Structure 1
């Protein structure tokens, strides 16, 4: 029996690991548990387990510090890293110190764990691999190809020797890379539970591997939740053109299936042919770096090696200065106060145009957008508007980090401004409303998702339905039902915008329509197109 130590400060995570399988059936036994890095180190000194499952984020000693201490002790222990977030630099440090592999907690399952544990049993010769299943072999191959790509080989490990020992499906001298990143990944998983995220990842992995199997020279490697790499072995390919066509055929199928089944796009960075195995990690790093061009180029982009960096369009002259000081704040406040939507739109688009022209570093551009959002928050506060409701998210400033392109951020900022102008205009109108109408509007705004009616509102306001109907139409120019439908459709439009995986039927239910066909009819009568057509246009 191989002994396994679990080191994780999360009690539920330790319980999940214990119960994920009957360990003894697979030749393992759990020798102990530790709730922090120091406890783990004490148990390691006492027990010397064969394998340690180590969480990255622990008190007293974190995962990296624990692995560093273990390395100093020079004990023959295989370390597998557990990470609850996608901070790859943190995981990278642990692997440089000798960790065998890493598992993201969001993806932890019996099959993956067994595959990773089997890597800890590989030993140094071919005989130790006898008895492993084909799936085990794939896990082992993925592990070592990933190490080569990320430059995580231990001292003394040679890429060429690893290719021979583990029959890695890459070439020793000629390889082409395609580094791929799922667009809008964080927005897609934002509302999924743990089971949903796991199923989502499994399905994506299936799509990638199924497409790659059709070209034996291509090997897919998962790098992290939203990033994959296709490695094309060019040992038997005579020309660059043929290599590119093979790579593009697989990428075309993957892009098509991602769009068809998940309504998601991917951005891709394709390298030239790398002629040295020792330079492969550098080729990967540069391909990954080129993906940052997506911020300006937009999603669903295919970026080639010639696009080494996004050019600065100022041509090396005076750098464009963009800031949001007192004067800009006054100007925007004035535009809001007079309800000049077109002037406000022009001002914001001009700001983003300056950003696009200056092509600042992505981090600098995001900082400027946070400043702009701060100005809008000030304006909202002065106008008595709820800033979080305007942004339709609890942490608006965090959202700036989640949108992946400058254009996405521009559209989001414009939507917030439109809603703020609408609220301001509505508030001005309501100054002349009868108090009864104001309360009825409040009732609709807070209950539109339920099956409410004029009689429900009248009962809530303790007046007769006929009296409320007359007052309400006199103030708003609309009867109660039409106003309610307008509110519901406005909410539905917001949900259809920027939500790539939302189902239209679920949006209909969430906005108070129990009948999909009725929702469809009302939406088309108000917007002028069907929900499907609207979603397509926004997409």
Structure 2
């Protein structure tokens, strides 16, 4: 007999559970009932228990705190939560603590409760909540299988033999392979094993709850931010469309309790164990297509084979020329390039192109001495949720780089007089310059100079000079320990207060913030 403890502050609930459920007939015995968490702990310490059925909102010690306390006393203890509210703010924590089911009180019947209790005796494979030694052994088998899925040269037989009576050995054909990639909104480089186990548990818990209702069997393998399910229908026939609907429901429920985005690929139906790795390859290809189509769930079809007939080469010289010229053709070029990559729909090619783009961005940042900007050269395309998100990121990055590249101080396409003005600015930016003074220096009409300077450079005399002074000030802030007032005077500002105001209007940072962020000595 498995021992059950009932905890609820409502008398009718406690009496109803004790009197209407045929406990003894189904292999259970109720060791007692408690009105709150404090009483429950006292009863547990006297009589022990295997299963706790508890409310959440109770006086003295509530349900969630009770679960934490009793879990620390008995790791194998299982919990079923009863509540009046569909309160998902507790769901993540409850899953981590080993809660088997979250049942709304108005849905509670003998059949529902017994079905949940029966799950505790099932041998269905899931994420281990058992003793540490068993958990380590299961983790080892899991890692072996994950490596097998991802490395064609490895054989399945040793892993299957070592797995012994694990559910994979009991799985019957036909089946589907489903690959789930977890996308994190903050794009972290690494997550701890404990953090990943937390997310595995949440997704697996939701998946199995829904699988039970649909009479679907699941076998799980995990690795990194990926979960692989071998999926088999127990009773009703299962096809890709039904499985996609099932995964849509899983994704919807996971979103209610986490901020994860799930990218799902579904294989074709496989008839033999020998085709399992090929089915996994299909699921991964389906994920690729989902990435390009901005569809989070995609089913593989034979016509979805990856294209290898469209080699792509990044024209770095062309891109560099457009960046340096700061022409409107830059966006058009990037748009055309990404349209070609979208047509190819090959993540290996896309991965290489994005690697080259990041390398080029770093090169330009260093060569042009641009303000330091964060560019993660090692980050994979998996950091993006979709192709469109990746495209937006790189178009914005290179537009930002183009805007940051200082204008050529003596561009050949400028007229003689404008080139002379730029040279004069370079030599005298620290002085109190005026348009009249520069016109006198060139011995030309002041109005004529003003009009033609703006026509050719795109900005007026004072804006161009101010931008030059701010660039010089940024260099001094990055590379010297000079005081702010000293830098202001050195680049041609009479007032350090006015200089500080202008500097922030151009950079969105105060002088101190800029130095703190970009100081390189």
**TM value normalised by structure 1:** 0.47
Tell me which structure has the larger Cα radius of gyration: 2
TM-score, normalising length: structure 2: 0.48
